[in-house]
C-alpha cells in the first residue's frame, strides 16, 4: 500500500482514509477496551493498524473472539457445576447469584488477559 502525503507548511501529512465498502459490524465492549489499551500502551501497533486501514478489522476480530470465548467459558461453568442448576436457583437464589457472579468475573478476567491486554 502506497501512502500519499499532503504538504502543510513544513510538514508532510499522510492522506489517511477509511474504505466505506466493507461491512463493519459491531465492535462492542471488548473491542473498545482493546482500542484504548493499544492506543495508550502499544502506540506502534496502533499507528501501524491505523495507517494500513486494519484497525477496524483488528477490533472486530478481538471483539468476536472475546465474546465467543466468554460464552464458551460460561457454558462450561454452568454445565459442570451442579449448584448452577435451575433447581438450585429456585431453592437458594442468593447462593446461585453469588456463584454465577463469581464465574462471570472469572470468565471476564480470562478473556481480558487473553485477548484485550496482551
Question: At 72, is the secondary structure helix, strand, or coil?
Answer: helix
Residue 11 sits in which domain range? Answer: 5-17+24-116
C-alpha cell at 67: 465474546
**pLDDT of 89:** 87
Average pLDDT of the segment spanning 20-27: 66
Give yes or no for residue 21 having a pLDDT over 60. no
Considering its fold, how many domains does the chain have in total?
1
Contact predicate 27/59, CB 8 Å:
yes
Contact predicate 83/99, CB 8 Å:
yes
Tracing cell 496482551 back to the chain, one arrives at: 118
Least confident interval from 23-32, 47-56, 68-77, 97-106: 23-32
pLDDT bucket at 26, cuts 50 / 70 / 90: confident
Kindly report the pTM of this predicted structure: 0.76
75 C-beta neighbours (distance < 10 Å), count: 11
- Tens-place pLDDT, residues 37-79: 999 999 999 999 998 889 999 999 999 999 999 999 999 999 9
Amino acid at each position: 500500500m502506497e501512502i500519499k502525503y499532503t504538504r502543510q507548511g513544513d510538514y508532510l501529512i499522510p492522506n489517511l482514509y477509511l474504505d466505506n465498502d466493507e461491512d463493519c459490524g459491531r465492535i462492542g465492549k471488548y473491542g473498545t477496551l482493546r482500542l484504548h489499551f493499544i492506543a495508550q500502551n502499544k502506540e506502534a501497533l496502533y499507528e501501524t493498524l491505523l495507517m494500513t486501514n486494519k484497525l477496524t478489522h483488528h477490533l472486530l476480530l478481538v471483539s468476536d473472539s472475546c465474546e465467543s470465548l466468554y460464552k464458551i467459558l460460561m457454558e462450561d461453568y454452568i454445565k459442570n457445576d451442579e449448584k448452577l442448576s435451575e433447581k438450585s436457583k429456585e431453592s437458594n437464589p442468593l447462593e446461585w447469584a453469588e456463584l454465577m457472579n463469581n464465574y462471570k468475573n472469572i470468565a471476564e478476567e480470562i478473556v481480558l488477559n487473553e485477548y484485550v491486554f496482551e
